[in-house]
Amino acid sequence: MSSIEATIDLLERLDKNPNDDNFLEALRFLVNLDYNTTVYLTLTQYILNSNHLNYADLLGFFKTLTQAKIQRHLTLNGLLDVLDKLNLRASLKVSYLAGIMMALDSSRNEEIDDIQDILICEIEDSLLYEVDSLLDNSYIKTLVMILPQIRTNKLKLMDINLLRNFFVKVLIESFKLDNHNDNIHQQSKEIKERPLYTSIPSISRILSRFCTLWSHQNTNNLENLLEGLLQISIQHERLLSSFSFSELDKGGYTFSSSD
């Protein structure tokens, strides 16, 4: 069976039965393909547009793919050129690029720089134009995971207003309560059950970095806002950590400060 026939067969199986086993086979298939082949482009396009994998899954998929190529000493040349040949919205490009970036160690400094140059542009485009993606908790968590990995000199090039609005959205959604009662344990439980709450420690660290980055510029209003958001985050972390774990366990839930 030729590579084209094998690809068609795999795509048909992915379409009829999009399960983890078939995507794992697709991963193995891609490992030995050159980035510039039609087969690689077709299969990659299909995977990125699949409803079976969310944004975080896609990041993990392409991280694993890149790691496998590195282990087999296969070239990574052309991995960025692929994006110009694929018809993808910015948020999907973010998962693709971030997966590759997170597979690279610090010795690949030049490649990481090249990836991050493109990545920050795609992140900005997704924040600016993709309303639906920003309603997807998987994408929000993916962004919160990616942003701390971006180097400071790259972060300084990004639109601070887009980032500020993004963090405000995440913080508000994480801390918003549906009812206002005085039961502190119940309030804390509701906060914890918010789908984005586990991202708060990462956001705290990012906000802290932003405050430092722009402290030398004439951006007092922005700095005050970021500091305020940071303090809100810290206060909620302290609130939750002050409770007795034994008491919380009795209520059927526990809290963790881990991301």
Can you tell me the mean pLDDT for 205-225? 53
Task: Please check whether residues 145 and 163 belong to one and the same domain.
Answer: no
Of the residues 93, 125, 150, the one at which a domain ends = 150
Same domain, 101 and 198: no
| Whole-number average pLDDT of the chain | 73
Q: Per mean pLDDT, which range of 54-68, 138-152, 194-208 is the poorest?
A: 194-208
20 plus 101 within the same structural domain: yes
Q: Which string of DSSP letters, residue by residue, matches 92-141? A: HHHHHHHHHHHH--TT-HHHHHHHHHHHHHHHHHHHHH-TTGGG-HHHHH
Residue 103, C-beta contacts closer than 8 angstroms, at least 6 positions apart:
62, 63, 64, 65, 66, 67, 70
Q: What is the pTM of this model?
A: 0.70
Q: Is the C-alpha dihedral spanning 146, 151, 154, 156 positive or negative?
A: positive
Range of the domain at 49: 1-150
Domain boundary among 117, 150, 183: 150
Residues 166 and 232 in one domain: yes
Q: What is the SS3 assignment for 218?
A: coil
Q: Are residues 126 and 2 in the same domain?
A: yes
Q: Are residues 126 and 237 in the same domain?
A: no
- Residue 50 pLDDT more than 50? yes
Confidence class for position 74, pLDDT limits 50, 70, 90: confident
Are 169 and 238 members of one domain? yes
Count of positions (residues) in the chain: 259
In whole angstroms, what is the distance from residue 67 CA to residue 118 CA? Answer: 20
Same domain, 95 and 66: yes
Distance CA 142, CA 136 (A): 10
CA nearest neighbour of 169 among 188, 205, 195? 195
Closest CA to 140 of 178, 101, 173: 173
Are 22 and 145 contained in the same domain?
Answer: yes
Q: What total number of domains does the chain contain?
A: 2
pLDDT at 115: 94
Q: Contact, 80 vs 104, CB < 8 A?
A: no
Q: pLDDT for 100-122, tens place per residue?
A: 999 999 899 999 999 999 999 99
For 150-202, write each residue's pLDDT tens digit.
887 887 788 877 887 787 777 666 555 444 455 555 655 665 565 555 555 56
**Would the pLDDT of 89 be above 60?**
yes
Q: Where a domain ends, among 150, 176, 207?
A: 150
- Residue 40 tokens, joined: 């690689």
C-alpha span between 144 and 198 (Å, rounded): 10
